[in-house]
Amino acid sequence: MKNPIRPITLLLATASLLAATACHRKEKVLDIQTPGGGIKVERDKTSGDVDIKVDDKK
């Protein structure tokens, strides 16, 4: 009889690797919501890139 622990271990290791690489590491710098729209500023923790999103509800 084969050892069932090895396939389970490989499956869990693969799932954790995919979860770690697929996750976007961003922190919220600013989030403003107003009746006329909103502004969201996020910074990527790994590269330092800044994303600015403006939502205009006109």
> Within a domain: residue 18?
no
> Within a domain: residue 39?
yes
Which H or E run includes 38?
strand 37-44
> Within a domain: residue 16?
no
Q: Which domain holds residue 33?
A: 25-58
Which H or E run includes 15?
helix 5-22
> Within a domain: residue 8?
no
Name the pLDDT band for 3 (thresholds 50, 70, 90).
low
CB 24 within 8 A of CB 46: no
Tell me the per-residue pLDDT of 15-56, one tens digit each, with 9 for 90 and over: 777 666 656 678 899 999 988 899 999 998 888 899 999 998
Residue 41's φ and ψ, nearest 5 degrees, are -120, 125
**How many structural domains compose the chain?**
1
The DSSP secondary structure of 42-54, one letter per residue, reads EEETTT--EEEEE
**CA atoms within 13 A of residue 19's CA, in its CB half-sphere:** 6
Q: What is the pTM of this model?
A: 0.54
> Within a domain: residue 41?
yes
> Within a domain: residue 1?
no
